[in-house]
Amino acid sequence: MDPFTLVVVGALIALVLGFIAIGRWHPKSGADVLDWRPTRSEEQEIELELDDVDQMLEAQNERRRRSGRQEITEEGFRAQVEAEEREREERAQRYRERE
């Protein structure tokens, strides 16, 4: 092998090992180095999620009112989702038993 190739390959290996060592033994995490902080707290995320659910239910109920159907509540919707999940699990169980 050519000495130049050995020097270049050795330098690349040393560079990669150096970066791995820096990442492994540096006292700060990557988030600390970049001064990264979440934009919202977990409490804010939960509040936004609940607001989204309320808005989606209200929009769905608006369409149901216009078409003359009964409005749906959050509890009713959760019960409907649970029933669909149970039905899907039962169907999956029947499929597994056939095999």
Domain boundaries, the chain: 1-31, 45-99
pLDDT, tens digit, 9 for 90 and up, residues 65-81? 999 999 998 899 889 99
pLDDT, tens digit, 9 for 90 and up, residues 29-57? 877 878 888 788 889 999 999 899 899 99
Distance CA 75, CA 55 (A): 15
Q: Which element (helix H / strand E) includes 84?
A: helix 74-98
Q: Does residue 99 have a pLDDT over 90?
A: no
Structure tokens at 81: 């989702």
DSSP string computed for 21-83: HHHHH-SS-HHHHHT---SS-HHHHHHHHHHHHHHHHHHHHHHHHHTTPPP--HHHHHHHHHH
The answer to whether the predicted template modeling score (pTM) of the entire model surpasses 0.75 is no
- Give how far the C-alpha of residue 80 lies from the chain's centroid of Cα atoms, to the nearest Å: 24
- pLDDT (0 to 100) of residue 98: 87
